[in-house]
Structures are given as C-alpha cells and as structure tokens.
Amino acid sequence: MEAVIGLEIHVQMTSLKTKLFCRCPADYRGAPPNTHVCPVCLGLPGALPVVNREAVKKAVMLALALNCRHIAEKVVFSRKHYFYPDLPKNYQITQFKGGGGAPIAEDGYLELLQGGGVRRVRIRRINVEEDPGRLVYTEGDITSSPEVLIDYNRSGIALLEIVTEPDLRSPKEARLFLEKLRAIVEYLDIADLSLEGSMRVDANISLPGGARVEVKNIGSVKEVEKALSYEVVRQRALLSRGAAIGRETRHWDPLRGVTRPLRVKEEEEDYRYFPDPDLPPIPLPRELIDSAVAMLPELPDARMRRFVEEHGLSRELAYALAMDKRLADFYEETLKRFWAPRLVAVMLAVDYLGFLEKNRLRMGEDRLNPDLLAKLARLVEEKVITPEQGKHLLFRVAREGVDPVEIVEREGLKALRSEEELRRIVERVVEANPKAVADAARNPKAVNFLVGRVMRETRGRAEPRLVRRLVVEELRRRGVEVGE
C-alpha cells in the first residue's frame, strides 16, 4: 500500500537584514519579546507595506535552481484571511494563484538519486510571504498548554513557501527531498537552516482508500520522516479495520512520537483570498532576473559531479560532502593545504560527522579546522601514523584544537614501520597467552584477542591488517592452523 505524499515547506530568509515589508531587524532570535516590531508588522491602521527587493531576488534564484519553467512577470501579493492570535492583521500577506493573484514561480522540479537512477519530484509553485508571530506555550505544547504567550518579533519575517506535487511515495523519499532542498537553499545563501524554526514543513499524506491528512509545522527533516512513518502505520491500521479516514489537520508530537488531531482541514475558499490593495502588482525587472542568474553558485549536483570526475570520489562519498555546504567547503579548503581527496573525504564524511553526532555537536562547535585536518591527513598519507591512529587523533584534535604533528612527536605515536620489530612483539604476546593459542584453531575470537593484545602493546601504532597477518603466521609456525 503505497503512500501519496506532498510537502509544503516554509523557509525563512535568514540572510536578509530586514523583514519582508518593513525595516524592522530580521534577526529576532534572542531578542526580548515584542521589541522588533513596528506599525507595519503589527498591522496597525494606516501602516503601508513596502516590498523587500532582496527577498524577491532570493526567490528568483531559488526558482532558477529548482528548474521552474515559469517565473512571474509581475510580483502580486494576496491576502489570506484567518483568525489566530499570532496574526495581528487577521490576514497574512502571501501569494495565491487565482482571483488576480499569482505565485512568483511555478512548474519546477528537483531530482533525487535513487539507487542507480534519478527520481524527479515536481515543484508546483514557490510563493513569497510573511511569517506570523510566534506562539510560546508556557507548559507542554499546542494540545496541552494552559496558557499561550505571543511574541510578534517574528511577524513579517520573509518566508519562501515551496509546494511540491504529490509525487513522493515514502517517508524516506520525503527526507531525501528535504535534504536536497536544504542543501540548495544554503548554497544560495538564502538561509541558515541550523537556526531554530528556520525551516518548517507541512506534510500531506494519504493511502489508497483514505482522505488526505495534513501534519502541520514539523520542525526538522528527521522529524518529517518520523511523522510520516507514524501516519503510514496509523492510517494503514485504520483502513485494515474498515474504518474511514477523514480529511483533517494533525499536530506532530516529537516527544511522544505520535500525531494528534488538531482541527478539520480548511478548504482554500475558507481563506477568502484576494489581491492586497496596499501592494499593487510590481513588474519584475529584467535586470533583477539577470542579476539572480549571475549570482547562481555551483549547486550541489554540479559539485558532486566535480568531486566524482576530478577528485575520484565514489558517488556516495561525493554526495555526502556536496549535500552539506559547510562540509564541502571544509573539504575543499583542506585540499588547498594538502591534496589527498579520498582520505580527506573519508575523514570528514565518515569519521568527523560520526564524532559530531556522537557528541551532539554541529560544525563550528568543535575545534577542528582545515589547517589541522591537512596536517593530520599528511601524517596518515605519509604513513607516519596508521589510519586507525589518524581516526582517534582526529577526535582529539576536534575536541582540543591541538596540533597533531606536535602530539605525535611529543607522545611518541609514530607508526611501527619495522616488520621485524613487530614480529618480536607478536612472538612475546603469543608466548604469554597459551590458552588463546590453544583455542585459535577452533575459535576465531581467540585470534582477534591476540591481535588486540598486540595492538595494545604497540599503543595502536601498528597497522591492524599487518598485525593479523603476523599473528596468523606465528600461530602456523607453532603448528596451529587458522584461517585468514
């Protein structure tokens, strides 16, 4: 039973200095409540909005990056009416197709790598709109808090709304789409999506035989996959019992890992859209589009291809780097100092990302930099230390910001290059562990035990594969036959 999924993604343009229709600072995070406000973003009578030109340019850049075939000749804003405490005007300035309105761009697509092929997800439209205020729940969440506070600092922040066609067929596909979109947004310098609330997703999902259900305001890419996975299980269970699935809006509770009913799903006519009389249609200047085209950077797909073709990386490794702009930038800065593409790529995309995840850190919250990583890569490439040492030393450098060259010299961590010296250590370890030697013929774990003892004797300065070979050779010399 295949799911049918469409996404509505809201991205704050955090790179802008001011809000969408006024000159209030856009950087509201950390500011005291209701201090970044003015008559325009509070919707006071007589206040007139003025469009932020840079916001329009960023929207055009995204439309070009998402292969939109139609970019509007005029920027037209509409009013979307609904009554909610975080919306002081009782309407949101947005864009709407119909009734004289139009989105800024339509008919695009984004391609996902799926196995050995490419999966195309269509983009229905891109809108420019304003963010409402922020609701602060004093206890629990929207379904349980006894009190709600309102902070209008966020009111009027510039938003991009990206709406897909219902082309996605699984929660995993939805996650892959969002990861790709996230990368493009960051490459275009539209937003820093590591900021809380900078990307929010409404996910629409249905199963054959059921109505469409919307899950509102999911706060991260991983949570989208979790919320949709829950909905697939919930809806499938209802349909298997013959129960009806009504059209509704639900809330995702990340703490409990469930969705909860929120309200009956609204229809478009409920919002009473019409063109905003305070914002007449604005012709989209040709020079603004030309400027947007000229500012387009190398995008993730192109960067990934370059990493494969010029650096010799596997497609999987190149993808892991290219889909994270900061990681890809870090990789290329390191290569300017020391050229070892595959080694540096593995250190970053495998070891370093693992370190960050384990320690619940984001890039920039540790002490690794391209200079230190280049020094460490050189030590491994030139076999001064083993790859395993390099991995452990990477973690130490990231935690402490220490110079890996100085550590290796000071602590005597240079790899054992003499096979003869290593053989002597192996002989000593085998001699000292007769029980493991006796067990080695029938128990592979005994061989691993001996290899581990040798690695401990060398303080990790030996190559594990070489150690294993020498241990097996020594055992065979003593008449114990073991497999490789």
Give tens-digit pLDDT for 147-170. Answer: 889 999 999 999 999 999 999 999
> What average pLDDT does the segment 298-318 reach?
96
pLDDT at 225: 97
Strand 199-206 versus strand 213-218 pairing type: antiparallel
Residue 118 is given by DSSP the state E
> What average pLDDT does the segment 413-441 reach?
76
Answer yes or no: is pLDDT of 130 > 90: yes
- Residues β-bridged to residue 10: 161, 200
Q: How far apart are CA 373 and CA 204, in angstroms?
A: 43
pLDDT at 207: 94
Q: Which two tokens stand for residue 370?
A: 């391209």
Predicted confidence band at 387 (pLDDT cuts at 50, 70, 90)? confident
Predicted confidence band at 446 (pLDDT cuts at 50, 70, 90)? confident
Q: Give alpha helix (H) positions in 193-352.
A: 221-240, 286-295, 300-311, 315-322, 325-337, 341-346
Answer yes or no: is pLDDT of 377 > 90: yes
Answer yes or no: is pLDDT of 466 > 90: no
State which H helix or E strand residue 405 sits in: helix 404-410
Residue 153 is given by DSSP the state G
pLDDT at 224: 96
pLDDT at 271: 82
Report the CATH architecture of 419-477. Orthogonal Bundle (1.10)
The answer to whether 336 touches 346, Cβ cutoff 8 Å, is no
Answer yes or no: is pLDDT of 420 > 80: no
pLDDT at 423: 77
Supply φ then ψ for residue 245, to 5 degrees.
-110, 110
Cβ-based neighbours of 282, under 8 Å, separated by 6 or more: 51, 74, 75, 76
The better pLDDT of the pair 43, 267 is held by: 43
What tens digit of pLDDT does each residue of 184-202 get? 999 999 999 989 889 999 9
Mean of pLDDT over the chain: 90
Could you tell me the residue ranges of all domains in the chain?
A: 4-292, 298-410, 419-477
The answer to whether 186 touches 323, Cβ cutoff 8 Å, is no
Supply φ then ψ for residue 328, to 5 degrees.
-65, -40
DSSP-derived 3-state class of residue 427: helix
